[in-house]
Structure 1
Amino acid sequence: MDKRIEKWLLDIYETIKSIESYFEDEPKDFSLYVKNEMRKKAVERNLEIIGEAVNRILNQDPTFTKKISDARPIVDLRNYIIHSYDSVSDENIWSILITHLPKLKTEVEALLNENLQK
């Protein structure tokens, strides 16, 4: 695997871990999430970072659309958060946190582990 791609995968993994750390002191509860503006902005910023890293990976190696589920929608989410910041839905971000982020973490871990075994 290209060293740049490995670095970007590590960036994704570390960013997901950062998002998870925002929920260490209290349960993942949507009503608590929407009341905490700083946490919401931090999550959104980290989703932007993940989207940018995925975008760079796809630009370097388009075959990663088969290795990272929803790679294109991840990049699209990044663009949406950046360009439509005033209409980002808390419900949509929450759904991504609960449903899609754990899957992405598992895929990235597998790709990094596969790379280590080579």
Structure 2
Amino acid sequence: MDERVMKYLIDIDNSIAEIEGYFQNIPKEFNSYRQNTMLKRAVERNLEIIGEAVKKVLKRDEAYINKITEAKSIIGLRNLVIHAYDSVSDENIWAVLINHLPKLKSEIQDLMTQN
């Protein structure tokens, strides 16, 4: 594996770990998330990093499009958070955290161990 790709995979893994860490002392409940602006911004920033790292992985090796489920959607979310911040809904971000982040974490960790 290209060492730059590994670096980006590590960045993704670290961002996911940061997001998970935010909920160690805060209930992982939608209303707690929705009411905490600092938490929302921290989560959104890490989602930006994840999206950018996925974009860079694909730029270095297009084969990862088949190894990272929803890679294009991850990049799309990054673009939405950065460029259309005023249309980001708490519900959509929460759905990503609950429904998609666990799978991405598993895929990224599998890819990192294949090296």
TM-score normalised per structure 1: 0.96
SS in 2 for 1:27: coil
Displacement of 1:26: 2.3
Encode CA deviations 1:15-58: one digit per residue, 9 max, x unaligned.
10000000001221000000000000000010000000000000
**Residue matched to 1:47:** 47
5 Å-filtered alignment, 1:74-85, equals 74-85=74-85
Letter in 2 for 1:111: L
Q: Which runs of 5 or more residues in structure 1 are unaligned?
A: none
How many aligned positions are there?
115
Match of 1:4 in 2: 4
Cα deviations across residues 37-85 of structure 1 (Å, max 9, x unaligned)? Answer: 0000000010000000000000110110100000010001100111100
- Percent of matched pairs sharing the same residue: 56
The 4+ residue runs of structure 1 with deviation greater than 3 A are none
Q: Distance in 2 between matches of 1:38 and 1:17?
A: 17
Following the alignment from structure 1 to structure 2, what is the Cα–Cα distance between the partners of residues 2 and 100? 26
Where do 5+ consecutive residues of structure 2 fail to align?
Answer: none
Q: State the alpha-carbon separation in 2 of the partners of residues 88 and 10 from structure 1.
A: 26
Aligned partner of 1:93 in structure 2 is 93
CA–CA distance in 1 between the matches of 2:8 and 2:67? Answer: 14
